[in-house]
């Protein structure tokens, strides 16, 4: 069970005790991501995340930060998404006070030094190059570019090489000051901790100010024909992502959509894996997934396909998706048990527990306990899943992203229309 406390500066503190473990995970989520950036600032959220590890007033260099955490065997990192940024430190409970001091110091007192910014530009450009050179890692960016076109959600998280090179230390400092404020921050602490640790968190993070809650440009998709985008690349294997607009965080049909995703492409005995890989040998990997944002989401299929047989593969994927009415009660029950089992395994980790509570609080403002989540999953009926599939799987609203040796988008669009 979790507890919630709103601090005087509007920072929300979510705590979830796990007394049987010897570790604690301190996680801070901030409503700062690429959807809050204009075109010129694209990549700023991710850049700021990098700069938080470059030194503070008390710990002047990246080495000064890392040596303290490495010295106690801590696990620590950060990541940026389209709608939030996460920082975390997982430690032996004996060193939780250090984690609290370190994370608050980084968020409150990091130096966004102009010389360090210029050096880090090269690092981030190389990170962008890494993603661009790996179709498996970048096909989702191409997909979101087309499904969310003309909205900041279509922007890449890291930005472009041009926008990254153009960002100044002053712009990054101003951006951080605007977004890293009380109402935009959730602290999620899970594991073995004491009341003294909670008092330390309240004290150390009390200096975060600000009342403003970040606003974003809400997206509404009015699509009535398939869209295709191709990134030409001479590859042996084609990376493909095919998907549809779906539900935002907290939608009442999300549990049925999760089950649909598992049945269609959630594991090695799913419909798509058996048909496309095992029976036809057209793909090395194929799976389904769901992406959620505050106002919209997407349901998508990703596959690594034989480039010489991509057209029959797309036809078969489309055929399998359109057979959703054939889902059986046995398949649905297996999907329910799969989700319950995965949750039980995942939530043995204090880091996963912190994410579980923190993301719900930040994105929805309401939290389901794991037990409540399982109860809702188990209550979904076959009719619920088929109704959701009928609503989401509509090929007039389909979006197809391809990375491979092709250029004719119209040919693939016709495959989706017919």
Residue reference for tokens 């880090």: 120
Q: List Cα–Cα distances, 379 to 66, 299, 324, 326, 406, in angstroms.
A: 47, 21, 19, 20, 45
141 is catalytic: no
Alpha-carbon distances of 100 from 14, 104, 112, 269, rounded to whole Å: 14, 6, 21, 44
Cβ neighbours of residue 355 under 8 Å, at least 6 residues apart?
27, 86, 188
Write phi, then psi, for 309 (nearest 5 degrees): -130, 30
- What are the strands, taking DSSP E only, across 48-193? 75-80, 85-92, 185-191
Can you tell me the distance from the alpha carbon of 164 to that of 159, in angstroms, rounded to the nearest whole number? 6
Using DSSP bridges, classify how beta strands 227-232 and 399-404 pair: parallel, antiparallel or unpaired.
Answer: parallel
Q: Could you tell me the two tokens for 82?
A: 């389209």
Q: What whole-number distance in Å separates Cα of residue 412 and Cα of residue 400?
A: 8
Considering 49, 120, 200, 320, which one is annotated as catalytic?
Answer: 49
CA distances to 26, 66, 144 from 77, in Å: 11, 11, 25
Residues classed as catalytic: 49
């Amino acid at each position: 069970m979790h507890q919630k406390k709103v601090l005087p500066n509007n920072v929300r503190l979510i705590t979830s005790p796990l007394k049987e473990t010897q570790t604690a995970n301190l996680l801070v989520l901030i409503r700062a991501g690429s959807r809050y950036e204009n075109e010129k600032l694209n990549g700023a959220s991710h850049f700021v995340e990098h700069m938080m590890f470059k030194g503070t007033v008390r710990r002047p260099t990246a080495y000064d930060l890392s040596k303290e955490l490495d010295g106690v065997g801590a696990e620590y990192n950060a990541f940026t998404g389209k709608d939030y940024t996460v920082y975390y430190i997982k430690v032996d409970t004996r060193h939780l006070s250090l984690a609290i001091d370190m994370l608050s110091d980084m968020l409150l007192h990091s130096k966004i030094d102009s010389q360090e910014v210029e050096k880090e530009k090269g690092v981030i450009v190389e990170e962008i190059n890494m993603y661009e050179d790996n179709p498996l890692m970048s096909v989702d960016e191409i997909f979101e570019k087309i499904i969310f076109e003309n909205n900041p959600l279509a922007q890449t998280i890291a930005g472009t090489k041009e926008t990254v090179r153009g960002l100044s230390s002053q712009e990054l400092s101003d951006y951080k000051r605007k977004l890293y404020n009380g109402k935009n921050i959730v602290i999620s602490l899970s594991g073995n901790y004491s009341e003294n640790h909670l008092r330390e968190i309240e004290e150390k993070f009390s200096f975060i100010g600000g009342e403003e809650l970040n606003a974003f440009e809400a997206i509404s998709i009015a699509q009535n024909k398939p869209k295709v985008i191709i990134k030409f690349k001479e590859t042996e294997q084609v990376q493909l992502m095919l998907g549809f607009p779906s539900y935002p965080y907290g939608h009442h049909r999300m549990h049925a959509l999760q089950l649909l995703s598992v049945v269609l492409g959630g594991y090695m005995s799913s419909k798509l894996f058996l048909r496309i890989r095992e029976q036809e040998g057209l793909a090395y990997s194929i799976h389904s997934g769901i992406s959620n944002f505050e106002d919209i989401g997407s349901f998508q299929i990703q596959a690594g396909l034989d480039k010489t047989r991509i057209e029959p593969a797309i036809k078969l994927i489309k055929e399998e998706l359109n057979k959703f009415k054939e889902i059986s009660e046995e398949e649905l029950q297996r999907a329910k048990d799969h989700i319950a089992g995965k949750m039980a395994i995942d939530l043995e980790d204090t880091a996963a527990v912190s994410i579980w509570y923190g993301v719900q609080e930040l994105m929805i403002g309401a939290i389901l306990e794991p037990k409540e989540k399982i109860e809702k999953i188990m209550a979904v009926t076959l009719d619920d899943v088929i109704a959701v599939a009928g609503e989401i799987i509509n090929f007039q609203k389909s979006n197809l992203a391809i990375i491979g040796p092709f250029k004719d988008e119209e040919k693939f669009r016709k495959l989706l229309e017919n």
